[in-house]
Amino acid sequence: MKFLDGSLLWVLLNFMVNLEEPHLDDLFNALASRPRRQVLSMVAIRSRTMTELALPLGLSLPALHKHLRVLERARLVEGRKVGREREVTFQPGALTEVEGWISFHRDFWNQQLDSVETFIREQKEGQARGDDR
């Protein structure tokens, strides 16, 4: 594969940007916060009530509720009322989208770097042979 020229690379990057889905923004926003990642770690082990989450994190219930709304919008957790408490359950399916996005971009950039490496190696080999390219 030849190294992409500027115009082709621009078209491809523009296409990649247009592939982005609003839900990915919600996911990355949710994952960008340490308290929200801590909540995910806790509910990944087992479902927890809001009180069980708030105490170890040192959060008030209203502050935790705001974090949970962000996580629910990203479809990373689901809250349901159990008696007088609200139970929070981890929903790992949404992480598949993040994994797919990361995998696509990792593969794309690995291919680009492989192309650059091949181009540089061919240039060096051509110089060693005395070729004018």
Q: What is the pTM of this model?
A: 0.70
Determine which of 75-79, 88-92, 108-112, 124-128 has the lowest per-residue pLDDT on average: 124-128
Instruction: Give the CATH class of 6-129.
Output: mainly alpha
**Is the pLDDT confidence value at 8 over 80?**
no
**Is the pLDDT confidence value at 1 over 50?**
no
Asked whether the beta carbons of 111 and 4 are under 8 A apart, the reply is no
Residue 79, token pair as written in the block: 């809250």
Domain coordinates of the chain in residue numbers?
Answer: 6-129
Pairing of strands 77-82, 85-90: antiparallel
Asked whether the beta carbons of 77 and 43 are under 8 A apart, the reply is yes
Asked whether the beta carbons of 24 and 98 are under 8 A apart, the reply is yes
- pLDDT of amino acid 6: 58
